[in-house]
């Protein structure tokens, strides 16, 4: 499979359509993104939106968030999703490798991500990429 990873510079109709197709594969509760929401995502200075594409379509996305904190520059990888038809072809690994490269180049002290335990293939990929499980208590406030 011919796949290239790109940093998104603008939110066009192809990207909006791709999120419409991909987000439901990531989360059944994710709200659909309209053009304005995708434009905000791309325009946010903290975000680097990566897409994986074949000659035919966008087949994966990843958001790298760079957070300048008092303790140093931190990075988070969020919302990694690969189209079901493209899974098993190294798409997520290409996206993750590029995110790690960008974060390191920016000087990030740490790069974190979370993944549900039932996503066994994704968790194996992250461990192969060098991520280690961290003992932590995650709190979430939904308001």
Q: Which token pair is 99? A: 């995110």
CA dist., res. 103 & res. 101, Å (int): 6
Taking phi over 0 as left and psi of -120 to 50 as alpha, with beta for the rest, 90 belongs to: left
How far is 38 from 61, CA to CA, in rounded Å? 12
The pLDDT > 70 percentage for the chain reads: 100
What pLDDT is recorded for position 27?
A: 87
**95 neighbors 86 (Cβ within 8 angstroms):** no
| All structural domains of the chain with their residue ranges | 4-128
54-90: b (≥16 Cβ within 10 Å) or e = beeebbbbbbbbbeeeeeeebbbbebbbbbeebeebe
Phi, psi of 54 (to 5 degrees): -100, 175
Q: What predicted TM-score, i.e. pTM, was given to this entire model?
A: 0.93
The architecture of the domain spanning 4-128 is: 3-Layer(aba) Sandwich (3.40)
Across 71-86, average pLDDT: 96
Tens of pLDDT, residues 80-98: 999 999 999 999 999 999 9
Q: Per-residue pLDDT averaged across 34-46, rounded?
A: 96
How high is the pLDDT of residue 140?
Answer: 84
- Rounded to an integer, the average pLDDT of 54-80 is 97
């Amino acid at each position: 499979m011919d796949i290239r990873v790109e940093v998104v510079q603008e939110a066009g109709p192809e990207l909006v359509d791709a999120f419409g197709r991909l987000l439901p594969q990531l989360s059944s509760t994710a709200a659909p993104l309209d053009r304005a929401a995708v434009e905000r995502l791309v325009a946010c200075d903290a975000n680097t939106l990566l897409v994986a594409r074949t000659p035919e379509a966008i087949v994966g996305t990843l958001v790298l968030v760079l957070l300048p904190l008092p303790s140093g520059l931190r990075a988070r990888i969020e919302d990694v999703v690969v189209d079901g038809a493209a899974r098993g072809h190294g798409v997520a690994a290409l996206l993750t490798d590029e995110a790690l490269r960008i974060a390191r180049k920016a000087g990030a002290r740490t790069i974190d991500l979370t993944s549900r335990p039932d996503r066994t293939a994704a968790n194996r990929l992250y461990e192969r990429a060098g991520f280690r499980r961290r003992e932590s208590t995650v709190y979430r406030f939904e308001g």
